[in-house]
Amino acid sequence: MTVSNVINNKPNVRPQTRARVLAAIETTGYQVNPLARALAGGRARLLSVLTRQQNLPYATEVLMGAAQAAEEYGYDLIVLMAGSGTASDLSPMASLSAGTLLIQPPPDVRERFPHLPAHLVSVDGPSDWPLTVDNASGARAATQHLISLGHTRIAFISGMDAHHRRLAGSAVPYGPPGVGEDAPQRLDAYRQTMRSAGLSVPDGYVQSGDYSKRSGEDATHRLLALPDPPTAIFASGDAMAVGVMHTLQNLGLRVPEDLSVIGFDDLPMAAQARPALTTVRQPLREMGAEGVRLIVRLAEGQDPPAGPPAPFPTELIVRASTAPPLGPAAAAGAAGRES
């Protein structure tokens, strides 16, 4: 019991005894096994994160914030990754923890993972305590940025296509990307901003994707095949935006001289892209840290917040992938290069 009190930094140990125990721990090289400790003592000092393997760039940013906050609170963190093609249930592992942070969970997360602990906090998805961003404000800022540069033909690649809408109601083990509210909120804000500026959204200017680079590439080919292709493309995720830029460059088109491109997320790939990607920053690390703080607050019996957390603010990050559109003569030359 004395050793346990020292390891868990309990105050009811005399300084001399604490010093002897710490010296013995150092001599023997003893290390705490967090899983064994959780099994022996219930859910003390252990938190879990449940995410999809398919969304690692996004999830990694959330995890980095969650891990830092867990360390600050003296909790261990286990990460559980579910694949999209398996019916395996990881919730018994999560049940060992004091609470679980869900990253983009499906709507029926409790049914698919019945052994999850009582305290659930989610990032970009449903739960008792959902954390999200102001998607509408971010999409408005992105669209308005392109309009302010002089673009009038602005296309949009959404984050949820018809296939994923069908999957959202099926027995997919951990849900497809984009089943949350972010996709329709960003699309609606784009349409409203265009309408407020007196600009039309022609048929074909809204394309569907699934937040992957490949879906951004496919959507770009469809947009360039339109009779009057856009001069700017707003992709609802950074991976899709990078796919847009790669496709344009492979076709001999220049970014941003021939087409401007803007994304949404501000993942590390945005700054690393060439040219660096203009995007809307989601504070994903801050959201991960706040998720852990909320779980700890609930698990330790503190008063819960009065209501759902307010959406996190977004920020437009202007880099090198956006610029004013070319004049008519230069645009004709760009079209010739594409053909």
Give CA–CA dist 134/182, Å, rounded.
9
Q: Which domains does the chain have, with CATH numbers?
A: 35-131+285-309 (3.40.50.2300), 135-278+318-338 (3.40.50.2300)
Give CA–CA dist 208/255, Å, rounded.
21
Give CA–CA dist 136/133, Å, rounded.
9
- What is the average per-residue pLDDT within 175-200? 82
Q: Write a three-state SS string for 143-165.
A: HHHHHHCCCCCEEEEECCCHHHH
* Lookup: tokens for 40: 């022996």
Give CA–CA dist 291/187, Å, rounded.
26
Give CA–CA dist 41/277, Å, rounded.
48
Give CA–CA dist 266/263, Å, rounded.
8
**What Rg, from alpha-carbon coordinates, does the chain have?**
24
pLDDT (tens digit per residue) in 118-171: 999 999 988 889 999 999 999 999 999 999 999 999 999 998 644 444 444 433
Q: Which residues contact 102 (CB under 8 A, 6 or more apart)?
A: 49, 50, 51, 109, 120, 121, 122, 123, 125, 127
Please report which confidence band the pLDDT of residue 33 belongs to, taking 50, 70 and 90 as the band edges: low
Q: If you write DSSP's letter for every residue of 215-249 in order, what string do you get?
A: HHHHHHHHHHTSSS--SEEEESSHHHHHHHHHHHH
pLDDT (tens digit per residue) in 288-304: 999 999 999 999 999 88
> Which carries the bigger pLDDT value, residue 35 or residue 183?
183
Q: Look up the pTM and report it.
A: 0.80
* Lookup: tokens for 278: 């203009």
Q: What share of the chain in percent tops pLDDT 70?
A: 80
* Lookup: tokens for 60: 């990694």
